[in-house]
Amino acid sequence: DTEVTQTPKHLVMGMTNKKSLKCEQHMGHRAMYWYKQKAKKPPELMFVYSYEKLSINESVPSRFSPECPNSSLLNLHLHALQPEDSALYLCASSQAGGRGTDTQYFGPGTRLTVL
Amino acid sequence: AQTVTQSQPEMSVQEAETVTLSCTYDTSESDYYLFWYKQPPSRQMILVIRQEAYKQQNATENRFSVNFQKAAKSFSLKISDSQLGDAAMYFCAYFLGNEKLTFGTGTRLTIIP
């Protein structure tokens, strides 16, 4: 089973709202990722969690706040977003450490629209 | 820094025919991984095929195969017997093992019935 699930599928929010995106995997993976993807562009890495600790933050604005409550769950908390933050947000997971742990498996994404 | 280049923004192929998507990359490393991901209109990024750089044998997965030329830093994807369900954006990606996946700009593949 290589399934990564994401909720919600679609989200519309105002610039003053607070919302959260959720990602879940049950493959025993210990690395989880958030990507942002604009239309017709490749995904851009935002954050990486490895063994529930934040290991990479690609200089993402503080209005995006990641959280990894346990090894299966990854959240992205959103606050005071801008219209240019509208995009597809993809979650991925992989094993962490060692050869053969390279492959990232992606969820179906959350389409976010900021009004 | 590693870069991945996909020089074909769009490609089209007749159903049941064969098509090859190009990818080149730039790296000074010798041990790394290469991937092709497919993203259909449903948006899910689906792994198509994976290649380990230290393996000389080209990876294959059913109708999908790669031509990996390490010295030339080339990693093309061949799709045989194209099907309507193959229509998607295809991304080539490079991975060094530091958790960062570097994507190319993508090739949009259209299948003509």
Per-residue pLDDT reduced to its tens digit, A19-67: 999 999 999 999 999 999 999 999 999 999 989 999 888 899 999 999 9
**B106 pLDDT higher than 60:** yes
Residues in A closer than 8 angstroms to B43, CB to CB, are 88, 108-109, 111
CB-nearest to A50 from B42, B44, B99 is: B99
Give percent of chain A above pLDDT 90.
Answer: 76
Residue B46 has pLDDT above 80, yes or no: yes
Residue B7's pLDDT is 96
Q: Is the peptide bond before A8 cis (omega within 30 degrees of 0)?
A: yes
CB contact under 8 A, A45 and B100: yes
